[in-house]
């Protein structure tokens, strides 16, 4: 029996995804659980396995194009099946049916001039009733960019407008898009030279989530400074004999996990129905990639040894930069750490990553002159800012947690116990 392969829901909240590449060709034999294609989400590249064995008879959505979750993308025929079974499988798919059997217009010629002046032989993405065919994702992106769908020409099946068509239109008319999408903003100077770079899916997601967080989550901020001479000395001592070096960030992640375990009332999330207090301490660690910021999660960090935690953080960071994280590796988490100390940043305040209730922003360790009793001494000092969701955590609780975390960093042997 022919098997219709549909676009999987590879990430929570995604209504569509883009096919990065097909790992099998049409006519090639496929075994169940073979890697069939690579799908790019707003966070990572996910490999999708075949759901059946047989022959990959037809690819319905080529590489580089997007499809809605649940939409047909390929057909696999079982052994002994042929064209009759393929046609039967395709019969229920409007976009795969012959042009004569549908009211949609045939696939358009690729458009190269500006959107407002399409090629004469290109075909609008609508049928005789005037309906515009576009994926939900393309409609949302066009609305955000202030683009009129009726001016676009789709490259999807039978002229369907897809994400890439909207992004291409943005690149072709950057000045118009900027003015329409954000009329309240100051216009770009007419004589200004600039290059419009279409937003990646990850960058759009970051913008949307952080805007929602800053707009809807009541943030408050607590700052503290830690003396980390003992922490740096412990790290140096560990790295003299350890087969795998640990970083200052590894020690900070472990100290956060230990402190959250000691004060579980900080390991929470707000919902309209209840305050969720998590049983496990899952730490999200912010990692910068070429596509944007992503926060892979160190699961059960409180129960890990320092060496195991260090290895886990390193592997997750490498997979994040390579775009190979699986959804379960970056979804969830109960607390986030964002460390910009390696860039020389002294201090900063980070935006909470919903549905979490707190994020710790860590600056650089610097040599400063401080008072020690009646004497002035030089010490290694580290600045940090705790951003907190006031709906879930009160100021006094957050202050006690930050004080305890500071004590843990300043007496770091406790994190090894």
Q: Are residues 61 and 116 in the same domain?
A: no
DSSP H helices, 11-130, are: 83-91
* Closest among 382, 388, 387, 337 to 363, alpha carbons compared: 382
Are 340 and 237 part of one and the same domain? Answer: yes
Residue 319: phi, psi to the nearest 5?
Answer: -65, -35
Take residue 410 and report the two structure tokens written for it. 């300043």
DSSP H helices, 187-277, are 201-216, 229-241, 248-262
Q: How many domains does the chain have?
A: 3
**Which residues does the annotation mark as catalytic?**
390
The CA distance from 108 to 168, in Å, is 15
Give the structural domain span for 89: 3-97
- Cα 270-273-275 angle, rounded to 5 deg: 35
**DSSP string for residues in 256-302:** HHHHHHH-GGGSEEE-SS-EEE-SS--EEE-EEETTEEE--EETTGG
Instruction: Give the CATH number, domain containing residue 27.
Output: 2.40.50.100
pTM above 0.75, yes or no: no
Indicate whether 270 and 333 sit together in one domain.
yes
What are the two backbone dihedrals, phi and then psi, of residue 378, each rounded to the nearest 5 degrees? -100, 130
Q: What is the pLDDT along the chain (417 residues), one digit of tens a residue?
A: 788 888 887 665 567 778 888 988 888 999 988 889 888 766 667 788 888 888 998 999 998 888 888 888 899 988 888 888 888 888 867 655 443 333 333 333 333 333 333 333 344 454 444 567 776 667 777 777 778 878 887 876 667 787 778 888 877 764 433 334 444 455 555 567 888 888 777 788 888 889 999 999 999 999 999 999 999 999 999 999 888 899 999 999 999 999 999 999 999 999 999 999 999 999 999 999 887 889 999 999 999 999 999 999 999 999 999 888 888 899 889 999 999 999 999 999 999 999 999 999 999 999 999 998 899 999 999 999 999 999 999 999 999 999 999 999 999 998 887
| One domain for residues 113 and 153 | yes
> 45 with 177, same domain?
no
- Other beta carbons within 10 angstroms of residue 190's beta carbon come to 6
Q: Are 18 and 141 in contact (CB under 8 A)?
A: no
| Axis-axis angle for helices 163-172, 174-181 (nearest 10) | 100
Distance in angstroms (rounded) separating the CA atoms of residues 120 and 142 = 23
- β partners of residue 225: 383
């Amino acid at each position: 029996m022919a098997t219709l392969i549909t676009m999987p829901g590879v990430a929570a909240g995604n209504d569509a995804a883009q096919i990065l590449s097909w790992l099998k060709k049409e006519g090639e034999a496929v075994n169940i659980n073979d890697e069939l294609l690579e799908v790019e989400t707003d966070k990572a590249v996910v490999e999708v396995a075949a759901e059946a064995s047989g022959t990959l008879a037809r690819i319905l959505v080529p590489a580089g194009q997007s499809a809605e979750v649940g939409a047909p993308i390929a057909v696999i025929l079982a052994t002994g099946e042929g064209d009759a079974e393929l046609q039967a499988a395709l019969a229920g798919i409007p976009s795969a049916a012959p042009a004569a059997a549908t009211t949609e217009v045939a696939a358009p010629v690729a458009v190269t001039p500006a959107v407002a002046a399409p090629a004469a032989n290109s075909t609008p993405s609508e049928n005789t009733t005037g309906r515009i065919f576009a994926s939900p994702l393309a409609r949302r992106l066009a609305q955000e960019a202030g683009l009129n769908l009726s001016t676009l020409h789709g490259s999807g099946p039978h002229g369907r407008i897809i994400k890439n068509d909207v992004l291409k239109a943005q690149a072709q008319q950057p000045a118009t898009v900027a003015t329409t999408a954000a009329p309240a903003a100051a216009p770009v100077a007419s004589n200004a030279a600039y290059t419009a770079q279409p937003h990646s899916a990850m960058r759009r997601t970051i913008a949307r989530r952080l805007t929602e967080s800053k707009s809807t989550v009541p943030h408050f901020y607590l700052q503290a400074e830690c003396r980390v001479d003992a922490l740096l000395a412990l790290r140096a001592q560990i790295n003299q004999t350890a087969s795998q070096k640990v970083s200052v960030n590894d020690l900070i992640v472990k100290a956060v996990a230990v402190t959250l375990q000691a004060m579980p009332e900080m390991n929470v999330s707000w919902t309209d129905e209840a305050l969720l207090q998590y049983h496990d301490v899952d730490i999200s660690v912010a990692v910068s990639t070429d596509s944007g910021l992503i926060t892979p999660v160190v699961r059960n960090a409180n129960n890990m040894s320092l060496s195991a935690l260090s290895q886990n953080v390193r592997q997750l960071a490498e997979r994040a930069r390579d775009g190979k994280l699986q959804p379960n590796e970056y979804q969830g988490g109960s607390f986030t750490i964002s460390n910009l100390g390696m860039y020389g940043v002294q201090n900063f305040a980070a935006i909470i990553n919903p549905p979490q209730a707190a994020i710790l922003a860590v600056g650089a360790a610097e040599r400063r002159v401080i008072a020690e009793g009646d004497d002035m001494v030089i010490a290694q000092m580290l600045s940090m800012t705790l951003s907190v969701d006031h709906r879930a955590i009160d100021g006094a609780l957050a202050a006690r947690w930050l004080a305890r975390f500071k004590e843990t960093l300043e007496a770091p042997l406790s994190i090894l116990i």
